[in-house]
Amino acid sequence: MIELLLLLLPVAAASGWMAAKQHHQKNIQNEPIPKDYFTGLNFLLNEQPDKAVEVFIKLLEVNADTVETHLALGHLFRKQGEVDRAIRIHQNLIARPQLTKAQRNQALFALAKDYFSAGVLDRSERLFLDAFDENNRDLDSLQHLLDIYQQEKSWEQAIEIAKKLTALTGKSQHVEIAHYYCELAEKALHTKELGQARHLLKQALASDKHNARALLLKAKIEASLQDYQTAIHTLESIKENNPAYFSETIPLLVIYHQQSNKRYDLFSFLEKSLVDCPRISTALVLTQQLQQSHPERAYLFLKNYLTAHPSLRGLYALLELASQLPTQNNASCAQADEKIPLIQTLLAPTLLNHPIYLCQHCGFSGKTLLWLCPSCKQWNVIKPILGLEGE
């Protein structure tokens, strides 16, 4: 493709030259092809494409007829990953004094995109800011600025731009804004500024009251201040506000109830949850509790749960329980017992390697809960997997 683009350059330069002559109303038949055109071709033939690009760009006279050709070529080079060449084309265009204001803004916007693609974010940011001011508050520039601030982790600026986008388009950015506040809160937590972190989480929840990340962080801060009762209440609210993340609260609920000596409350809450928000993590905590005093009841409890809600993780735990029960005094039971370790061995790699979280937007999966999908760059779309292979 790059080779094809390089071959298009002399064609574009020649047509640009002809268009320029027509533009000046000269007799093109009497005009010789410029000497530089052959110099450029020579560079191409000698496999010196960068020198050829320089020559052809200079040759492609900038006027109303050829600006589009420059922009199209720059766009094609950027699309092919040849960002340096796209930058040279656009810089050459901007340097021409005869451009109209609209053409100049178009070229500046294209150059800002080049720098963004090249990862030169500070230059790209400056140009998009100019483009936003110049191009009558153009939304594309704002969207690119938001991408830049996200990449740079400049969360305050990201909040400012997201609010501007909401105001200009009427399309809410409340999910994104809540996560930007959570990012700032995590930064504050890192430097032990608990008051500031709480203030930021309050703003996150004001933007999106269903944000599970903000609620999880809030509960962790409350627990760190030994206010376990409030922390438990905050975690329990996730089941109502955002049940997709309920399984994330279960390990913390176990710890905080232990710390506050309220184990009975935990089991009562989890038993109710098995009905309105069934998760294998919940069933396993209850099974473990039963197992300490009544192993056979624990086995039956888990078996009944799995009949209604099949789960590979649950099956593995059930086999573990079965292997710990006293061996039955008949040959067929003994044979079945012998097969348990084999089935567990077959299940173990699947459980170990299987992803736990899945992006609902693009299908990216992994074993860590990420709030921003690294693949589709959407917030709040990666969730715990439910069903047989998940929760």
User: Which lies closer to Zn ion via its Cβ, residue 20 or residue 359?
Assistant: 359
Q: Give least dist CB 64 to Zn ion, A.
A: 43
At position 20, the amino acid (one-letter code) is: A
- Which residues, numbered 360-389, are part of the site for Zn ion (CB under 5 A)? 361-362, 364, 373, 375-376
Query: Residue 277, interface with Zn ion (CB under 5 A)?
Result: no
User: Which lies closer to Zn ion via its Cβ, residue 246 or residue 364?
Assistant: 364
Stretch (H or E) spanning 358: strand 357-359
User: Which lies closer to Zn ion via its Cβ, residue 150 or residue 281?
Assistant: 150
Strand order in the sheet with 382-384: 365-366, 357-359, 382-384
User: Which lies closer to Zn ion via its Cβ, residue 128 or residue 364?
Assistant: 364
Q: Give least dist CB 212 to Zn ion, A.
A: 17
At position 251, the amino acid (one-letter code) is: P
User: Which lies closer to Zn ion via its Cβ, residue 123 or residue 361?
Assistant: 361
> Rounded to 10 degrees, what is the CA torsion of 345, 350, 356, 357?
180
Site string for Zn ion, 50-69 (x = CB under 5 A): --------------------
Residue pair 80/5 in contact by the 8 Å Cβ criterion? yes
Q: Give least dist CB 374 to Zn ion, A.
A: 8
> What is the DSSP annotation of 227-258?
-HHHHHHHHHHHHHH-GGGHHHHHHHHHHHHH
90-96: long-range contacts at Cβ-Cβ below 8 A with a sequence spacing of 24 or more?
90/114, 92/57, 92/58, 92/62, 93/62, 93/67, 96/62
Residue whose structure tokens are 């993780």? 313
Q: Give least dist CB 363 to Zn ion, A.
A: 7
Total interface residues for Zn ion by CB under 5 A = 7
Distance CA 336, CA 318 (A): 14
Helix, strand or coil for residue 107?
helix
Q: Residue 215 has which token pair?
A: 């609620």
User: Which lies closer to Zn ion via its Cβ, residue 200 or residue 373?
Assistant: 373
Q: Give least dist CB 376 to Zn ion, A.
A: 3
Site string for Zn ion, 327-366 (x = CB under 5 A): --------------------------------x-xx-x--
User: Which lies closer to Zn ion via its Cβ, residue 165 or residue 373?
Assistant: 373
Q: Give least dist CB 322 to Zn ion, A.
A: 39
Q: Give least dist CB 360 to Zn ion, A.
A: 8
Distance CA 263, CA 322 (A): 26
What would you report as the CA-atom Rg of the chain, rounded to the nearest whole angstrom? 32
At position 131, the amino acid (one-letter code) is: A
Q: Residue 385 has which token pair?
A: 């997997």
Helix, strand or coil for residue 3?
helix
- Which residues, numbered 158-177, are part of the site for Zn ion (CB under 5 A)? none
Q: Give least dist CB 356 to Zn ion, A.
A: 15
Helix, strand or coil for residue 331?
helix
User: Which lies closer to Zn ion via its Cβ, residue 159 or residue 359?
Assistant: 359
Rule CB under 5 A: which residues touch Zn ion? Answer: 359, 361-362, 364, 373, 375-376
